Amino acid sequence: MPRVVVDVMLKPEILDPQGQAVANALPRLGVNDVASVRIGRRIEIDFTGEPDLDRAREIADKLLANPVIEDFTVHLGEADEAADARS
């Protein structure tokens, strides 16, 4: 199935308390070589026909991201891409 992936991240100048909490917890797990962590969202949109990147950008701009504090990227994804990332 044709899939478009939208990644939403806070803009670099916006504080990320979730990311900071993760970064602060890493040393307790023995991980000392991480400088910073940013938390974002991944949204997968499955189209019934051909994937429409322009339509996905419009959806992201109007609904999925807050353009005041967030940036987003849109790219084609594979149906099994999420499963590959977990393994």
Task: Write out 39-80 in H/E/C secondary structure.
Answer: CEEEEEEECCCCCCHHHHHHHHHHHHCCCCCEEEEEEEECCC
What is the mean pLDDT of the segment spanning 60-82?
89
- The pLDDT of residue 84 is above 60: no
Per-residue pLDDT, averaged over 64-79, amounts to 93
pLDDT for 2: 82
Q: Which of 36, 38, 35, 42 is nearest to 14 (CA)?
A: 38
pLDDT > 90 fraction of the chain, expressed in percent and rounded = 85
Fold of 3-76: Mth169; Chain: A , (3.30.1280)
pTM: 0.82
Span 6-42, pLDDT tens digits:
999 999 999 999 999 999 999 999 999 999 999 999 9
